[in-house]
């Protein structure tokens, strides 16, 4: 255990050194006579989101307010509510359904100095059996005539895990998230981004309610025991994104993202989108995304016997599966003349249809099958987001 923690700590230090070098380089660039960057627009934003399927309904509102001061400093605050009902298939098969509410609050500030924007934010999320806190720092620097932007970020998170009905259960998680990005304007019509992320987690990383199943002599042919994860987890992701603006005001966006982690999961994601302005104030977007991943080293849908190995998981998100997403978005831009102080606004509606197909996770809610021969699980989901932005 101690050796694993030391390995993670050494790995995090190695990743931090190049980030510090880049940070020093960015601050050195501030002394050059470069044109000024721009803070995000001051605005009020409203969002309603809804996820429906896989035995769960998650929905709720969010509001964000951002105010700028003297063109160099801005403050923002966000308030989000998630109402969750039901339970996913791998939890509801061994526990009862539930209802809960999650409230997240975030405060952030941005400081503009020369060509750099420094950002600091704090977020707190609370629900009846989980509390998450995070502190984030980001810096972005434009240079070479605004054609290149480097971004860096670090987030420190600390979570507390509880369990409903058990006041004695309390576990902690420490998280660290490193980010490094490069954005480059290739031509007047082409833009490309390269982003790298590294995350280290330590603590209670499994679900307090989920169980795994193993072969037994009972009527069902299997029984359950609590899952057990390693208490350290390191993941890495690299993403290449590009956008090309077409001669008739439309644009094509493409993305590839690769992910791997210390638990043996490997994932690939591809996305392509077409954005088309129309009728002066309207923007339409159509996208397609494909995602696939391999299972974690300690995942199994049905273990051969109890305590078959040191670490045990039956979380379908750690299994081998693939998803396909078809999305449609509509945006209406307007400049209101009857609303005081509002300069312009946007109304957005986005709908995503997702298809999940699992290759080694079985639906044990189906009866009449022998253990390990149940149908493979699959489901469809619909995600909706309604978004309003008012700039003032």
The CATH number of the domain where 85 resides is what?
Answer: 2.40.160
pLDDT tens for 33-59 read 344 478 888 999 999 999 887 677 889
Mean pLDDT of the chain: 88
pLDDT tens for 206-262 read 998 899 999 999 889 999 999 999 999 999 999 999 999 998 889 999 999 999 999
Residue-number span of the structural domain to which 275 is assigned: 2-391
pTM of the shown model: 0.84
Is the pLDDT score of 75 beyond 50?
yes
Is the pLDDT score of 79 beyond 70?
yes
Is the pLDDT score of 361 beyond 80?
yes
Residue 26: what pLDDT? 40
Percent of the chain whose predicted confidence (pLDDT) is above 90: 72
Count the domains in the chain.
Answer: 1
| HEC-encoded secondary structure of the chain | CHHHHHHHHHHHHHHHHHHHHHHHHHHHHCCCCCCCCCCCCCEEEEEEEEEEECCEEEEEEEEEEEEEECCCEEEEEEEEEEEEEECCHHHHCCCCCEEEEEEEEEEEEEEEECCEEEEEEEEEEEECCEEEEEEEEEEEEEECCCCEEEEEEEEEEEEEEEECCEEEEEEEEEEEEEEEEEEEEEECCEEEEEEEEEEEEEECCCCCCCEEEEECCCCCCEEEEECECCCEEEEEEEEEEEEEECCCCCEEEEEEEEEEECCCCEEEEEEEEEEEEECCCEEEEEEEEEEEECCCCCECCCECCCCCCCCEECCHHHCCEEEEEEEEEEEEEECCCCCCCCCEEEEEEEEEEEEEEEEEEECCCCCCCCCCCCCEEEEEEEEEEEEEEEEC
pLDDT tens for 143-179 read 888 899 999 999 999 999 999 888 899 999 999 999 9
């Amino acid at each position: 255990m101690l050796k694993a923690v030391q390995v993670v700590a050494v790995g995090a230090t190695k990743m931090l050194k190049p980030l510090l070098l880049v940070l020093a380089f960015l601050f050195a660039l501030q002394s050059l006579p470069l044109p000024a960057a721009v803070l995000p627009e001051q605005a009020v934003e409203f969002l309603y989101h809804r996820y429906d399927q896989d035995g769960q309904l998650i929905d709720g509102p969010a509001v964000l307010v951002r105010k700028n001061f003297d063109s160099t400093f801005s403050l923002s605050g966000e308030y989000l509510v998630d109402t969750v009902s039901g339970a996913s298939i791998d939890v509801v098969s061994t526990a009862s359904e539930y209802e809960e509410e999650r409230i997240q609050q975030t405060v952030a500030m941005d400081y503009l100095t020369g060509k750099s924007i420094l950002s600091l934010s704090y977020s707190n999320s609370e629900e009846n059996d989980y509390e998450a806190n995070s502190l984030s720092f980001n810096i972005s620097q434009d240079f070479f005539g605004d054609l290149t932007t480097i971004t860096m970020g670090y987030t420190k998170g600390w979570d507390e895990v509880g369990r409903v009905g058990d006041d004695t259960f309390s576990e902690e998680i420490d998280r660290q998230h490193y980010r490094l990005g490069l954005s480059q304007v290739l031509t007047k019509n082409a833009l490309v981004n390269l982003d790298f992320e590294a995350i280290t987690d330590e603590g209670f990383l499994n679900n307090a309610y989920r169980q795994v199943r193993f072969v037994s002599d009972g009527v069902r042919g299997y029984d359950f025991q609590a899952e057990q994860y390693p208490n350290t987890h390191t993941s890495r992701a690299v993403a290449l994104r590009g956008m090309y603006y077409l001669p008739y005001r439309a644009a094509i966006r493409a993305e590839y993202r690769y992910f791997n982690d210390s638990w043996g999961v490997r994932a690939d994601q591809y996305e392509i989108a077409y954005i088309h302005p129309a009728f002066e104030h309207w923007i339409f977007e159509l996208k397609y995304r494909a995602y696939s991943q391999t299972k974690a080293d300690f995942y199994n849908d049905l273990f051969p016997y109890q305590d078959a190995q040191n670490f045990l998981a039956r979380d379908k998100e750690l299994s081998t599966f693939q998803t396909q997403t078809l999305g449609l978005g509509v945006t209406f831009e307007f400049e209101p003349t009857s609303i005081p102080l509002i300069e312009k606004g946007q109304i957005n509606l986005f709908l995503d249809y997702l298809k999940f197909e699992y290759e080694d996770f079985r639906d044990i809610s189906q009866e009449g099958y022998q253990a390990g021969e149940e149908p493979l699980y699959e489901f469809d989901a619909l995600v909706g987001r309604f978004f309003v932005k008012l700039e003032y």
